């Protein structure tokens, strides 16, 4: 009889611990989702023309409150890196290059930490490549010469790991249309990458594809294609100044 009571107690204890662990795991998942939601909110407002950059930086930064609590380190570092990258872009718009460079470097370090935790995480490879490409604007020629090839290899690995990583296809396109020929630059190849990325159902991916296709056609002096692509970008984010400027430039070809 005593043994039976012990078994019942152990069974109840196991059930209680299972519920507690389950609730804790759900809370951790919620932290990741809440952190991502704040990131997406800040990015959406930023690309849709919200000029209150300080408020946007604060919103993006708030996501780290939740992301810091995420147990899954590869996802935690990946999304913290995404946040740092977005904040860096915002500081560029504010005209604060030192702060922008620092946040791009933070993003790079976090992407690398994410890869070390999970070498098969496609998005972490893409993010690290993007940080290399953006830091080329802030560092010297030697950095540019060494980081360019690294970025391409990382992006190629990203799409190999995930053939539907459309953000990585966009990043490859950006590299190809901006790199010199000696460094693998090829505008037509870049346009092909952007067209692949347009298979994405994510409107942000589509915006990036269209605006860079417009850039590519401006380089090729194809006025009609450039105007059409810029207009497609503006359909997604009607108040985006970048797209407005690209459309204006396209009309002046």
- Domain of residue 251, residue span: 187-253
Determine the Cα–Cα distance for residues 175 and 198; give it in Å rounded to an integer: 17
- Which among 89, 90, 91, 125 has a CA at the least distance from the CA of 108? 125
- Angle, helices 203-219/187-197, rounded to nearest 10 degrees: 160
Q: Is residue 37 part of a domain?
A: no
- The one-digit pLDDT tens for each residue of the chain (253 residues) are 445 555 554 544 454 444 444 444 444 579 999 999 999 999 999 999 988 999 999 999 999 999 999 999 999 999 999 999 999 999 999 999 999 999 999 999 999 999 999 999 999 999 999 999 999 989 887 887 888 899 999 999 999 999 999 999 999 999 999 998 888 899 999 999 999 999 999 999 999 999 999 999 999 999 999 999 999 999 999 999 999 999 999 999 9
- pLDDT at residue 141, as a whole number: 74
Q: Is residue 253 part of a domain?
A: yes
Q: Is residue 209 part of a domain?
A: yes
Q: Is residue 10 part of a domain?
A: no
Q: Is residue 248 part of a domain?
A: yes
Single pTM value for the model: 0.86
Question: How many domains is the chain partitioned into structurally?
Answer: 1
Q: Is residue 229 part of a domain?
A: yes
The SS3 call for residue 68 is coil
Q: Is residue 12 part of a domain?
A: no
- pLDDT at residue 19, as a whole number: 45
Determine the Cα–Cα distance for residues 201 and 144; give it in Å rounded to an integer: 33
Q: Is residue 43 part of a domain?
A: no
């Amino acid at each position: 009889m005593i043994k039976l009571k012990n078994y019942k107690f152990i069974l109840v204890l196991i059930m209680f611990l299972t519920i507690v662990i389950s609730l804790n795991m759900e809370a951790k998942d919620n932290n990741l989702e809440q952190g991502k939601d704040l990131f997406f909110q800040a990015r959406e407002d930023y690309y849709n023309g919200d000029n209150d950059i300080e408020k946007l930086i604060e919103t993006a930064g708030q996501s780290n409150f939740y992301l810091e609590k995420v147990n899954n380190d590869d996802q935690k570092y990946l999304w913290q890196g995404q946040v740092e990258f977005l904040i860096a872009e915002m500081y560029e718009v504010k005209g604060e290059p030192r702060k922008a460079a620092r946040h791009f470097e933070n993003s790079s370090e976090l992407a690398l930490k994410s890869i070390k935790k999970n070498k098969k995480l496609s998005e972490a490879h893409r993010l690290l490549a993007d940080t290399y490409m953006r830091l080329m604007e802030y560092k010297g020629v030697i950095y540019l010469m060494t980081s360019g090839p690294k970025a391409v290899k990382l992006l190629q690995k990203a799409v190999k790991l995930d053939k539907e990583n459309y953000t990585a296809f966009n990043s490859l396109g950006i590299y190809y249309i901006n790199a010199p020929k000696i460094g693998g630059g090829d505008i037509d190849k870049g346009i092909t990458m952007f067209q692949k990325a347009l298979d994405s159902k994510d409107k942000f991916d589509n915006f990036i594809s269209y605006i860079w296709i417009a850039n590519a056609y401006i380089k090729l002096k194809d006025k009609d294609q450039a105007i059409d692509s810029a207009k497609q970008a503006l359909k997604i984010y009607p108040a985006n100044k970048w797209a407005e400027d690209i459309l204006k430039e396209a009309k002046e070809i």
